[in-house]
Amino acid sequence: MTTRDRDEVFLELTRSICPVCKQTIDAEVNARDDQVFLRKRCPEHGEFEARVYGDADMYVAAQRFNKPGTRPLQTQTEVKDGCPSDCGLCPEHKQHACLGIIEVNTGCNLDCPICFADSGSLREKGPDGYSITLEQCATMLDVFVAAEGEPEVVMFSGGEPTIHKDILAMVDLAQERPINAVNLNTNGLRLASDKTFVTELGRRNRPGRPVNVYLQFDGLEKETHLAIRGRDMREIKQRALDNCAEVGLTVTLVAAIEKDINEHEIGAVIRHGLAHPAARSVVFQPVTHSGRHVEFDPLTRLTNSDVLHAIGKQVPEWLTVDDFFPVPCCAPTCRSVTYLLTQGSPGDPDFGLVPIPRLLQVEDYLDYVANRVVPDYEIREALEKLWSASAFIGTDTSDDRLTKIVDALDCADACGVNLPVALATITENTFMIVVQDFLDPYTLNVRQLMKCCVEEITPDGRLVPFCAYNSVGYREQVRAQMSGVEVADVVPNAIQLQPLLVETRYGSKQVPR
């Protein structure tokens, strides 16, 4: 008998949950075939494995981009059972909240085949849906302010927040508090059809108190819309974008990317964003297999590195994988970002585009493992604010930071060109591209979750890390609390789980007791 080597490199031991019963279990992360997988075993439901990063080399290299966390001013819970059971935030959480999300309702004017929140028209009318009141919203904002002092960004989400009758008043509540920016997460239906509403939003978007629209935008092909949204929304998206441009609202195009549905449209979404005057950033999110989604295979699911490589392949004239750097405030493999300085519109003869990371050595500032001494601490601080989950283009903070970055170019007044001054005139043409993979019940890794900086603010006054909220059962818990109706735990629609699954009335899956 000869011994045989394993076919994988054991990278880490962590904790996760069973995707079926949500019990906390040990998990290991392994590199195999140049990819990274998380594997775990539930005593009751057996072994599960999911692909968590498509490029093992990039996964390991990213770990250096890990900023020491900041303690929030307040935590809301005690440590009792350990992560992820004590959310939150508990005192053991490693990072403060860069971004707070308030879900104002569970109802929606769409019934998308893919919805991590498992929202829809049935929730609007059904027994276990809810809408928060203005008073609850005020309390939730106060919790956020108490925890953060001066929070950077609050995002209103749902459900579909624009169908909440008090949504504008909620924006007002946020703007009355020391919260820098408001983001409105929407499918765009109301923005396309209700110009009065758009005007009212635009009126609230003012210097020092920006309002940005976070517009669901998965692609430009009809098939993509039908597969992800169940409806051809192309004209609606265009009208929504045009209406925002008319009143000066900046828009982030947010694309949920699902394997074999719209991964080929990544470059087209970037191109569309660069061409539309309202669009200032694009966010790509590999579909989070929480809530409701199409059947998928966890072993071949899309990850951040797949999106990054697709960008390099689909718009090679503008971008390569090396133009992106991990965001160091959260766990470094959760989110990668780049910024572009642009001039004109793609197709113009003198269109110009320069990725900011090509202008300076970003890793000299954001590699926290190697660099205790950095060339210039103000530049590091500016880069930290840009490479952050709280970064939204169009905020005063991001404009200031971009101007500061120019100092890193370290060449004021050379050749009679004052680069900082000249660049200040084009910061309004800065474009941000974000790639963000959220954790789901298959991929949940407590090491990443403990440093999450995107939190759901709950009506009972907690800040629950977004991925815990969607994966561990907090969403169901809050829904039950708010509606008074028992809510079953939602289970991923994975190929391997099909024999166990039954459909809920909302289209998501559960395992019958």
Partner 1 sequence: MTTHELANGLDATQVKACCATGYSSDLVSLLLGSSYHPGGTTLTRRLLDAIGLQTGERLVDVACGVGTTSLLAAQDYGALVDGVDLSEANVKLATGAAVATDLADRATFHHGDAEALPLSDGGWDAIICECALCTFPDKPIAAREMARVLRPGGRLGISDITAHRDRLPAELTGIAAWVACIADARPAEEYRDIITAAGLRVTTIEHHTPALERMITQIAARLDLLKMIARPRLEALGVDFDRTGPVLETARRAARGGMLDYVLITAEKPCD
Interface with partner 1 by CB under 8 A: which residues?
341, 343, 352-355, 358-361, 363-364, 367, 370-375, 408-411, 414-417, 419, 422-423, 425-426
CB 459, CB 509: distance < 8 Å:
no
**Amino acid identity, position 89:** L
How many separate helices (H) and strands (E) can be counted in the chain? 17, 18
* Shortest Å distance, C-beta 411 to partner 1: 4
Whose Cβ is closer to partner 1: residue 80's or residue 372's?
A: 372
Whose Cβ is closer to partner 1: residue 372's or residue 513's?
A: 372
Whose Cβ is closer to partner 1: residue 361's or residue 498's?
A: 361
* CB neighbourhood size of 60 (10 A): 15
Give me the torsion for CA of 404, 405, 408, 410, rounded to 10°. Answer: -60
Whose Cβ is closer to partner 1: residue 44's or residue 428's?
A: 428
* Shortest Å distance, C-beta 130 to partner 1: 50
For 134-192, give the DSSP string: HHHHHHHHHHHHHHHSS-SEEEEESS-GGGSTTHHHHHHHHHHTT--EEEEEE-SHHHH
* Shortest Å distance, C-beta 463 to partner 1: 35
Question: CA-to-CA distance for 504 and 482, rounded, in angstroms?
Answer: 19
Determine the angle formed by the axes of helices 167-176 and 195-204, rounding to 10 degrees.
0
Report the run of H or E that residue 355 belongs to, with start and end: strand 352-355
Strand ranges (E), 5-68: 9-17, 24-32, 35-42, 46-53
**Amino acid identity, position 328:** P
**Amino acid identity, position 159:** G
CA within 13 Å, CB half, 135: 0
* Shortest Å distance, C-beta 347 to partner 1: 16
Beta strand 335-343 pairing with 325-326? antiparallel
Whose Cβ is closer to partner 1: residue 109's or residue 371's?
A: 371
Whose Cβ is closer to partner 1: residue 60's or residue 374's?
A: 374
Whose Cβ is closer to partner 1: residue 364's or residue 460's?
A: 364
* Shortest Å distance, C-beta 11 to partner 1: 22
Strand ranges (E), 395-488: 430-436, 454-457, 463-465
Which residues contact residue 319 at a Cβ distance below 8 angstroms, ignoring those fewer than 6 apart?
A: 270, 311, 312, 338, 355, 433
* Shortest Å distance, C-beta 193 to partner 1: 38
Question: CA-to-CA distance for 96 and 145, rounded, in angstroms?
Answer: 12
Whose Cβ is closer to partner 1: residue 381's or residue 460's?
A: 381
The token duo for 188 is: 């765009």
* Shortest Å distance, C-beta 329 to partner 1: 21
* Shortest Å distance, C-beta 312 to partner 1: 14
* Shortest Å distance, C-beta 352 to partner 1: 4
Question: CA-to-CA distance for 504 and 483, rounded, in angstroms?
Answer: 17
* Shortest Å distance, C-beta 379 to partner 1: 11
Whose Cβ is closer to partner 1: residue 139's or residue 371's?
A: 371
Whose Cβ is closer to partner 1: residue 417's or residue 485's?
A: 417
* Shortest Å distance, C-beta 270 to partner 1: 17
Whose Cβ is closer to partner 1: residue 160's or residue 367's?
A: 367
* CB neighbourhood size of 209 (10 A): 17
Q: How far is CA 442 from CA 52, 324, 355, 379, 472, in A?
A: 9, 26, 34, 38, 11
* Shortest Å distance, C-beta 321 to partner 1: 13
Whose Cβ is closer to partner 1: residue 184's or residue 432's?
A: 432
Looking at 247-290, list the stretches that DSSP marks H as alpha helix, in order from N- to C-terminal side. Answer: 266-275
* Shortest Å distance, C-beta 358 to partner 1: 4
Question: CA-to-CA distance for 299 and 231, rounded, in angstroms?
Answer: 29
Gyration radius of the chain's alpha carbons:
22
CB 436, CB 427: distance < 8 Å:
no
Question: CA-to-CA distance for 177 and 453, rounded, in angstroms?
Answer: 20
The token duo for 410 is: 């370290």
Question: Tokens 């517009």 map to which residue?
Answer: 215
Whose Cβ is closer to partner 1: residue 134's or residue 359's?
A: 359
Q: Is 510 helix (H, G, I), strand (E, B) or coil?
A: strand
